[in-house]
Structure 1
Amino acid sequence: MKQIKPEELTRNPFQMIGKDWLLITTKKGDKVNTMTASWGGVGVMWGKPVAYLVIRDSRYTKEFVDAGDRLSVSVLNDCHRKLLSYFGSVSGRDEDKIAKSGLVLSEEEGVPYFSDSEIAFLCRKLYAQPMSASFLLEQEIDKLWYPNGNWHTMYIVEIEKLLVKEQ
């Protein structure tokens, strides 16, 4: 993979996040966990290139994200769609999803990511805040997306390094 500047990324973020999906990967101690995500964004905050991630409080990966300072966000190509569904439906509490996946786990400066990725964002946490219905301006969102109260925590992470698959 080769490094590019965030402003050189040409991939459509709406396609990349909402349609192609992402893998959020991090480690706690010597254990690595990952989960599929299809909500979030990229942009600029506090003069830095950032990604906005949301993780439900019930997700095992949230424990890992909260325990460390760094994480990766990987974008895989469409041939991995079934694998992305698997990562999103099976908990790392119950099995070693990464070992079963056949993906190649790499690490750079302590940040785990998948070298099978088309794109890998290596990130550092800047901000975390639990989301709440009390801040919604459109109450239908609570009924539609949080009927059981399983809310998200929003993270803003600085994109420290952006790696893309060499063509």
Structure 2
Amino acid sequence: MTEITCEALNENAFQMIGKDWLLLTAKKDGKVNTMTASWGGVGVMWGKQVAFLFIRPQRYTKEFVDAAAEMSISVLPEAYRKELNYFGTVSGRDEDKIAKSGLGIAEENGVPYFADARLAFICKKLYAQPLEADCFIDKSNIERWYPGNDFHTMYVVEIEKVLTA
């Protein structure tokens, strides 16, 4: 993979996040776990290039992200749609889904990411906060997305490196 700057990235964020999907990956106690995500964003905050990520409390990957100072965001080519679906529906609590997928893990300064990714963002956590019902202005989003009150935690992560295939 080749390192590029965030400014050199020529991607449509809406396509990349909402359609191509992301793999959020972190390491805890020497073990790596990942999950598929299709909610988030990129931008500038606190003078840094950042991504905004959202993870529900019941997701096993959340334990890994919470324990790690750094994590990665991988964007895989469309040919890996089956694997992306699998990572989004099977829990790492139940099986070693990365090994079962056949995809390889690479590391950048100890941060795991997918070797088959077309893009990998190496990120440092800056901020985490659970979403709260009282903060929703449009309460219909609670009814639609949170009938069980399992509100996502929002993470703001600094993009330290962008790697491209």
Matches within 5 A, 1:107-146: 107-146=107-146
Deviating 4+ runs (over 2 angstroms): none
Match of 1:92 in 2: 92
Query: Matched residues in 2 for 1:114 and 1:83: separation?
Result: 12
Deviation at 1:16, TM superposition (A): 0.2
Query: Matched residues in 2 for 1:7 and 1:157: separation?
Result: 17
Query: Matched residues in 1 for 2:89 and 2:150: separation?
Result: 16
Deviations 1:55-89 (A, max 9, x none): 00110000000011000000001111111000000
Match of 1:27 in 2: 27
Structure 2 portions without partners, runs of 5+: none
Aligned residues: 165
Query: Matched residues in 1 for 2:151 and 2:141: separation?
Result: 11
**With structure 1 as the length reference, what TM-score do the two structures score?**
0.98
Deviations 1:120-144 (A, max 9, x none): 0000000000101110000000000
Match of 2:50 in 1: 50
What percent identity do the matched residue pairs reach? 64
Query: Matched residues in 2 for 1:29 and 1:79: separation?
Result: 31
CA-atom RMSD in angstroms: 0.5
Deviation at 1:115, TM superposition (A): 1.3
Query: Matched residues in 2 for 1:82 and 1:151: separation?
Result: 27
Match of 1:40 in 2: 40
Match of 2:13 in 1: 13
Query: Matched residues in 1 for 2:20 and 2:10: separation?
Result: 15
Match of 1:159 in 2: 159
Match of 1:65 in 2: 65
